[in-house]
Amino acid sequence: MIEPLSAPEPQITVLDAGGQYCHLISRKVRDLGVYCEVRPSETPAALLRGRRGVILSGGPASVYEEGSPQIDRALLSLGTPVLGICYGQQLMAHLLGGRVERGQEGEFGLAELEVDAPDLLFAGLPPRQQVWMSHRDTVSVLPPGFQRLAHTNSCAVAAMAHAGNHLYGVQFHPEVAHTRYGTQILSNFLFRICGCRQDWNPAGRAAMLEEGIRETAGERKVFFFVSGGVDSTVAFTLCLRALGPGRVRGVYVDTGLMREGETEFVRGIFQPHSGAFAVLDAQERFLGALEGVYDPEQKRQIIGDEFVRIQQEALDAYHVLDEEWILGQGTIYPDTIESGGTEKAAVIKTHHNRVPAIQRLIEENRVLEPIRLLYKDEVRAVGRELGLPSELLDRHPFPGPGLAVRCLCSREAAPLGRSAEGWVLPVRSVGVQGDSRSYASVLCLEARPSSTGSLHRQATALINQLAGINRIVALVDSRAPLEQMSGTRGSLDRVRLDRLRRADAVVRRLSCESGYERSVWQFPVILIPVGAAGAPDSIVLRPVDSVDGMTAESAAMPPELLRQIAGELLALPGVCAVFYDLTHKPPATIEWE
């Protein structure tokens, strides 16, 4: 194995077509012990001649659209093995004489793959297996010389190959955790098809990251806003180790958008670094700036811009000269790619660390993001290397904008819509469908979640069929029947934030006491402006299972715990109903805004 700070010549190149999971492919390859790089999709084939294999990523475009990502066609005749994933398969088929068409229905989330030909790609794997899909377009006619390797109920060509030319394609995403045998499929491509050798040891990340911090910072000081979450705490601790406490300053900003007891928890975590850490109360400023704001993207922009203004004021207060400082951030890779961080990627939602004011600082080389290419599970691994306590590292992720993105707002009251499948709630949420952002309606099923498994399956099937819907929920319990409920007017004010804060505290307490909290990756609690007379709001429970936040399954809840949580939530003033989010990511995002 190589030394941690050196890197060999890449054996595998991932060509980026703008997919949400492009760097996840690269990371999975490295996890298998093979050094890998990411390059733009149009990289000339001549520059890839030394590679043992090339992987074409997914992406939000359609191959038949003008301006869609392309590759150098010569790549497909080099003799170098090529694996196309999602858009990558479609592009391969399109360029080689096949046909790609828009499917009658999309396929988002879990699907059952049936292997038709146990080719090298599926060697040693079962004939039926769970895969993760995110597409509307599909290969309808195979290119000459190709054979179909697998299919699903909604996708006739879920995998294809021209073994003689070493060309392979899959419509699903083997790189995500929810494709059950995805790692083995990638391993088959690397070792059985490409003949790769293991040459990469991902151990010792902390030392590599500290060296990168020293190189980026130079002689400058680093100013951090820390949230008390895993990401910012790991990034801050890395900087303390790399530069020493005299060159690092951390400030926790109490925005008024935090969970119950959060500020006290953060004070305790950073007590050992009290000389380099302070708390700033900015509740009035954030709540004032957000007053009367309803659009989720505008909320994120305001929060990010306000952070930058407070940062400038804090730097002045600590007498830090401009030329001596840079801004440190705990940005991780999913934050950047959902903000359109790769060249051809769509913007799913603007992360507060990627608003225009932050982008200007990045362009001026005044931002340090030591963990920007890591995923959540990798950040936790680095935290363990640093000796951070498990009570911090095992915390559920919490969004930087806080409860602002879990408190949905509405300018006007609106009725619920009736449909054959259930009730359409008069709220919209952010989703990710086919690698692109969606902002669409929410459907509530008629059935109550007594048998959550069947409802999850029903939700997955429906969302692939229905246009204009990116999220499906079930009603757990309510003070009023659905037909008597309606959308309500609701803004981001103290009353609604306190209502959400109390609901979140109830859910966290009962989940912790039951042990359920340890069985899921994250459990957002959402407040939506849907209710009845005297109770204008409702709560949505959103437990999910994930590895890195790039994909997620809506997690099943024990019926008894679900009833207990709903009972306590309905006892809170102003809460009319409790819903249960059944939607995977994709097509929904984990958060609602």
Q: Both 390 and 429 in a single domain?
A: no
Residues 236 and 234: their CA atoms lie apart, in Å, by: 5
Q: Both 211 and 320 in a single domain?
A: yes
- Between 332-336, 393-397, 577-581, the lowest mean confidence (pLDDT) is in 332-336
Given this model, what pLDDT does residue 431 score?
87
Given this model, what pLDDT does residue 320 score?
54
Q: Read off the pLDDT of each residue in 425-431 and give the average, rounded to a whole number.
A: 92
CATH number assigned to the domain comprising residue 104: 3.40.50.880
Given this model, what pLDDT does residue 1 score?
26
DSSP state of 193: I
Q: Both 437 and 535 in a single domain?
A: yes
Residues in Cβ contact with 305 at an 8 Å cutoff, skipping those fewer than 6 apart: 355, 356, 357
Judge contact between 239 and 293, C-beta under 8 A.
Answer: no
Given this model, what pLDDT does residue 22 score?
82
Q: Read off the pLDDT of each residue in 134-160 and give the average, rounded to a whole number.
A: 93
Given this model, what pLDDT does residue 196 score?
97
Which one has a higher pLDDT value, 562 or 466? 562
100's tokens: 């790609």
Asked, for residue 5, whether it belongs to a domain, the answer is: no
- Give the phi and the psi of residue 463 in degrees, each rounded to 5: -70, -25
Q: Both 339 and 234 in a single domain?
A: yes
Q: Alpha-carbon dihedral of residues 139, 143, 146, 152, nearest 10 degrees?
A: 10
Asked, for residue 420, whether it belongs to a domain, the answer is: yes
Given this model, what pLDDT does residue 6 score?
40
Helix axes 230-243, 376-386, angle to 10 degrees: 40
Asked if pLDDT for residue 202 goes beyond 70, the answer is no
Task: Tell me which of 402, 422, 441 is where a domain ends.
Answer: 402
Instruction: Give me the domain span that covers residue 89.
Output: 12-193
Percent of the chain with pLDDT over 90: 56
**What strands lie across the sheet with 367-368, from one edge to the other?**
277-281, 248-254, 221-225, 325-328, 367-368
- Give the phi and the psi of residue 430 in degrees, each rounded to 5: -80, 140
Q: If pLDDT is split at 50, 70 and 90, which confidence band does 508 have?
A: very high
Asked, for residue 6, whether it belongs to a domain, the answer is: no
Q: Both 468 and 385 in a single domain?
A: no
pLDDT in tens, 6-15: 457 899 999 9
Which one has a higher pLDDT value, 307 or 526? 526
CATH number assigned to the domain comprising residue 416: 3.30.300.10
pLDDT in tens, 298-349: 988 898 888 888 877 877 776 654 678 888 999 886 676 555 544 555 554 4
Q: Both 457 and 501 in a single domain?
A: yes
Residues 52 and 50: their CA atoms lie apart, in Å, by: 7
Asked, for residue 7, whether it belongs to a domain, the answer is: no
Q: Both 258 and 342 in a single domain?
A: yes
114's tokens: 């049936």
Q: Both 179 and 211 in a single domain?
A: no
Task: Tell me which of 163, 193, 223 is where a domain ends.
Answer: 193
Residues designated as active site: 86, 173, 175
Which one has a higher pLDDT value, 549 or 71? 71
Number of domains in the chain: 3
Asked if pLDDT for residue 148 goes beyond 80, the answer is yes
Task: Tell me which of 193, 213, 246 is where a domain ends.
Answer: 193
Asked, for residue 301, whether it belongs to a domain, the answer is: yes
Asked, for residue 592, whether it belongs to a domain, the answer is: no
Asked, for residue 3, whether it belongs to a domain, the answer is: no
Q: Both 97 and 241 in a single domain?
A: no
Q: Both 316 and 451 in a single domain?
A: no
CATH number assigned to the domain comprising residue 214: 3.40.50.620
Given this model, what pLDDT does residue 453 score?
65
- Mean of per-residue pLDDT scores for the chain: 88
Asked, for residue 269, whether it belongs to a domain, the answer is: yes
Q: Read off the pLDDT of each residue in 360-372 and give the average, rounded to a whole number.
A: 83
Closest CA to 184 of 126, 133, 134: 126
Q: Both 152 and 19 in a single domain?
A: yes
Q: Both 454 and 552 in a single domain?
A: yes
Asked if pLDDT for residue 547 goes beyond 90, the answer is no
